[in-house]
Structure 1
Amino acid sequence: MIINNNYLDEIEKILENKNELEDFKRYCTLPLKKSIKINLHKINLDKFRKLISNWGWKIIDPGFIEKGNIENDSFYIDREEIDFALGKSFLHMSGIFYIQEIAAGMPARFLDIKEGDKILDISSAPGGKSTQIGDYLLSYKNRPGIVVANDVNGKRLQTTAHNLNRMGIYNSMLTKLNGFVFGKNLGEVFDHVLVDAPCSGEGTGFKSDFSLKIWKRQEINKICGTQFQLLVSAIKSCKQGGTIVYSTCTMNPYENEENVSKILDFFKGAIELENVDIKNKSIGITEIEIDNETKQILSEQDAEKLARFWPHKQKTGGFFIAKFKKVKTLQEKYPNKENKIAPKNPFKIDTSKSLQKQVSNFIQEQYGIKVDKSKYLFFATSKKIYLTSPEFLEFKDILEFEKVGVPIMKFGGEHKFIPLHSFGTTIGGETNKKYINLNQDDMQKYSNLEDIKIENLDGKYKDREYVVIKFEGIGMGVGKIIDGKIKNKFIKA
């Protein structure tokens, strides 16, 4: 393990006790306990705990979460010796949980999410926090709202798309834009914005010590500028009364407290710092040293509202969270310019009433699912039917997008719809016909992309018929009956 001495000098300046430095160095690159985020709109905590206890697994509360309107969903997980990785578990493959570091699972919890909210994740890849936001929205019974998952890097956005599909987060929209443009072009359209900013990554030494080896103050200054501009864009595009959460996986105060200080000054009177209510947190830094001079950047009262996760104290990755509330509109001061991010060559999509009726009738006739128009909106491209939320219509013509929702069916011959894997993972749990419940062993085989032999079908299912795969009543995917087997359709999403 190599840690740049310049970086250690910076850290030593802000440690509460200088004797902590050796502990800090040691914990920076220690492996972390495995941890997961449970997909609450698919399974409740009691059912999940009971289910995995039968396999010798158990979840352990990290002890950070104050009770609020969102049930705790982030846990350490212990498993008995097993011959496959956690990421190959069928519960992971079918979107029941997401593998996520504990500290990284905290920021999305502080967005004050309400039913039907429209939320921007301005720098979303690889998508863990977007799936969290979408999950929280889907946990409400009626209007599912929408999460706009943005990233400027197309390759990273593909990973986000995969994760949203796997987790069944159909109330989502992907954009590939420079995050600076939202505030300039759209104005105050989002209820909340998450800025999980690109950063120097010092807090991820448990994965790789690369960032710790190459640390340079000059590069940090460049990153700070990007982070500040993303915060400016986020605050401009957030509605009055909304929340903006800023987070990084880094430890130096320049990317963290100093950016908070600068943004409070820049939007003085329009935003306020709110408390990040986490148990056993470390609070923020009030002073930084620049050119051998000490500069106060935050009051003690404001510093106490922030949350730091130190590797040697909280035993997590290094992390930082700040929460702002927008208390005053900025629309008059910063009127949005001509919208240059509206779809220039919009996808040829069909969201017509006739399509809604056609798809709804098919789903009800074939699978017994009565479609709730307040929760589901279908749209068609030339090849597929996608499921999204009705809130998509508010953004369809003002925001250039790469992908919307989750593909649930494709067009077949004679105007038939053919269900895809994601049909099962999104609305398949609601079906009351044409489904098969699999046991644990068969579900694992299904997630390993194997076909499943089913005994004693007794003519219940026609050959070449598509069925929803369920486990414990939860929709897990789609299969096709061929010669007494369930032909695996997992990879056809």
Structure 2
Amino acid sequence: MHSNIQLPDAFIAAMKNIMPASLSMDEFIAACQRPLRKSIRVNTLKISVADFMQRAQHKGWQLEPVPWCETGFWIEADESQVPLGNTAEHMAGLFYIQEASSMMPPAALFLNENDQFSAVLDSAAAPGSKTTQIAALMNNEGVLVANEFSASRVKVLHANIERCGVRNAALTNFDGRVFGGWLPEQFDAVLLDAPCSGEGTIRKDPDAMKNWSMDSIHSIAQTQKDLIESAFQALKVGGVMVYSTCTLSVEENQQVCSHLKDLYGDAVTFESLEALFTDAHKTLTPEGFLHIFPQVYDSEGFFVARIRKNASVPTPEVKKKLGKFPFEKAAKKIDQAIREQLNNTLGIELPATGQIWLRDKDVWLFPSALEPMLGELRFSRMGIKIAETHKQGYRWQHQVATCLAKWNADHGVELNTEQAREWFMGRDIRPEQAAGKGEVIVCYGNDVIGLGKWVGNRVKNGLPRELVRDKNLF
């Protein structure tokens, strides 16, 4: 429990000034002092919601639907022996542990059935909860540019993308203010989950308010205004942007959106989120935004706005010096040979929406929709690495299995529980089945968990180091 949480008097006074009359300050304080309900999101790139619910029932997990996310659930599970993050289902990428409120911005981006986007920008992406949610909503089609300013957090972002089987992402490591100048009118949709003061996160972080001040809010709000301008400039005419924060102050929320409207006038339309879910009207502002106090849905505090771009706006002029692009698109003959050998070796068909690119001995699969951006911006990682060339052909890589493969008896090896634990700890496996040759898809149950290679009667472990665990597994 967080009953010892102390809210600064100035913060309480600020909340009193903005909290709707229908809400109680006592209930607000009580909600802030309650721990959050744990919630997860089913990763439909790996498993259907129906199949996941059957597994949850078998494991004794109690699921309650999150009303604004068809794949989201509050969960009650016995974690006394194994934390949810160390379950086989989590490690295989079947679900993501994600706070329920943070599922709302991607859901708002894909509000309507006809919201199908071929190019999406996630401007502040780490650790990857919303990025992987967007990738699932895109069904791994098109291209998803996932940007993270903090270099140290890019590794976490990539690890989560890799675990969840995302193959349409291209990662960048920039200040989000660069996109309007470098990629103007390039994206059908943009999510700006802006860095903020974090007032809404106190239920999971008792220290969130330790350094709270109005001065810091005003400073952050200026950064947010810069970011929303750049995100809007990067948006195509007719495109949609979602602006969100995990904070409550109007300075970081309504006033940031109003700044964009004041700056660009009729080019900006605020679209109501009342239809996002049944009880959305409880937190709807006059502009159609969702301004969520934690006691309303028993969640984090949150803010979500959906914005449409109606016309072009001025964009900054930049001088680009990118240097030579180090990749070369594979010739048709090589492209076809790689596809055929992968199919023959592992029974995997590369998607037609992917393009094969080569760099030295490395073979990569890029999203086709990324190609127009390749000469415009420097990317830190694009698509998935599928192979390395060697004298006898191709040495297939881990993401070929986790992003493209399904259980296949002709090309797979199935591990028991003890062997699967050993696999996730980075150790080689001696399966019970007869030894084979070359690379093999490694499965636990019907879930693909990696790619190994037969060496005699053992399967050599090919799990990337950042995904290796060392204790307390399922």
Q: Normalising by structure 1, what TM-score?
A: 0.86
Matched, 1:390 2:368: yes
Q: Calculate percent identity across the aligned residue pairs.
A: 27
Match of 1:135 in 2: 136
1:40-98 alpha-carbon deviations (Å, 9 max, x no partner): 12211111111222222232102335xxxxxx111112223552211112222222111
Q: Is the 8 A contact 1:3 1:209 kept in 2?
A: no
Structure 2 distance, partners of 1:19, 1:391, is 46
Q: Could you say if the C-alpha distance between residues 151 and 16 of structure 1 is closer, same or farther in structure 2, counting changes exceeding 3 Å?
A: same
Q: Is the 8 A contact 1:466 1:479 kept in 2?
A: yes
Matched, 1:14 2:18: yes
Superposition deviation, residue 354 in structure 1: 4.1
Superposition deviation, residue 201 in structure 1: 0.7
Q: Could you say if the C-alpha distance between residues 372 and 14 of structure 1 is closer, same or farther in structure 2, counting changes exceeding 3 Å?
A: closer
Q: Is the 8 A contact 2:327 2:357 kept in 1?
A: no
Match of 1:41 in 2: 45
Q: Is the 8 A contact 1:368 1:432 kept in 2?
A: no
Match of 2:143 in 1: 146
Structure 2 distance, partners of 1:439, 1:362, is 29
Structure 1 distance, partners of 2:341, 2:158, is 26
Q: Is the 8 A contact 1:366 1:433 kept in 2?
A: no
Superposition deviation, residue 416 in structure 1: 3.0
1:59 to 60, 63, 67: 63
Root mean square deviation, CA, Å? 2.4
2:395 to 418, 437, 443: 418
Superposition deviation, residue 444 in structure 1: 4.5
Q: Could you say if the C-alpha distance between residues 352 and 199 of structure 1 is closer, same or farther in structure 2, counting changes exceeding 3 Å?
A: farther
Structure 1 unaligned blocks of 5 or more: 66-71, 286-299
Superposition deviation, residue 407 in structure 1: 2.4
Q: Please identify, of 4-13 and 429-438, the stretch whose mean Cα deviation from structure 2 is larger.
A: 429-438
Q: Could you say if the C-alpha distance between residues 216 and 106 of structure 1 is closer, same or farther in structure 2, counting changes exceeding 3 Å?
A: same
Aligned to 2:135, the other structure's residue is in SS state helix
Q: Could you say if the C-alpha distance between residues 386 and 58 of structure 1 is closer, same or farther in structure 2, counting changes exceeding 3 Å?
A: farther
Counterpart of 2:250 in structure 1: which amino acid? P
Q: Could you say if the C-alpha distance between residues 458 and 153 of structure 1 is closer, same or farther in structure 2, counting changes exceeding 3 Å?
A: closer
Match of 1:119 in 2: 120
Q: Could you say if the C-alpha distance between residues 441 and 313 of structure 1 is closer, same or farther in structure 2, counting changes exceeding 3 Å?
A: farther
Superposition deviation, residue 208 in structure 1: 1.8
Match of 2:104 in 1: 106
Q: Could you say if the C-alpha distance between residues 24 and 199 of structure 1 is closer, same or farther in structure 2, counting changes exceeding 3 Å?
A: same
1:267-294 alpha-carbon deviations (Å, 9 max, x no partner): 2111211122233234355xxxxxxxxx
1:385-425 alpha-carbon deviations (Å, 9 max, x no partner): 233311121211111111111223334x4153222222211
Runs of 4+ aligned structure 1 residues displaced above 6 Å come to none
Match of 1:437 in 2: 414
Q: Please identify, of 28-37 and 100-109, the stretch whose mean Cα deviation from structure 2 is larger.
A: 28-37
Q: Is the 8 A contact 2:441 2:450 kept in 1?
A: yes
Counterpart of 1:328 in structure 2: which amino acid? A
2:295 to 312, 322, 325: 312
Q: Is the 8 A contact 1:369 1:432 kept in 2?
A: no
Structure 1 distance, partners of 2:418, 2:58, is 13
Q: Is the 8 A contact 1:274 1:324 kept in 2?
A: yes
Matched, 1:243 2:240: yes
Matched, 1:487 2:460: yes
1:163-191 alpha-carbon deviations (Å, 9 max, x no partner): 11121111011111221121123221100
Structure 2 distance, partners of 1:328, 1:430, is 48
Q: Normalising by structure 2, what TM-score?
A: 0.89
Superposition deviation, residue 480 in structure 1: 2.5
Structure 1 distance, partners of 2:219, 2:200, is 18
Structure 1 distance, partners of 2:83, 2:54, is 21
Structure 2 distance, partners of 1:315, 1:440, is 37
Structure 2 distance, partners of 1:378, 1:58, is 43
Q: Could you say if the C-alpha distance between residues 335 and 214 of structure 1 is closer, same or farther in structure 2, counting changes exceeding 3 Å?
A: closer
Counterpart of 1:390 in structure 2: which amino acid? S
Aligned to 1:213, the other structure's residue is in SS state coil
Match of 1:296 in 2: none
Match of 1:289 in 2: none
1:122-178 alpha-carbon deviations (Å, 9 max, x no partner): 111222111111121126xxxx10110112221122221221112111101111122
Structure 1 distance, partners of 2:165, 2:328, is 21
Counterpart of 1:108 in structure 2: which amino acid? P
Counterpart of 1:321 in structure 2: which amino acid? V
Structure 2 distance, partners of 1:471, 1:437, is 6
Q: Is the 8 A contact 2:195 2:245 kept in 1?
A: yes
Q: Is the 8 A contact 1:186 1:336 kept in 2?
A: no
Match of 2:469 in 1: none
Matched, 1:478 2:451: yes
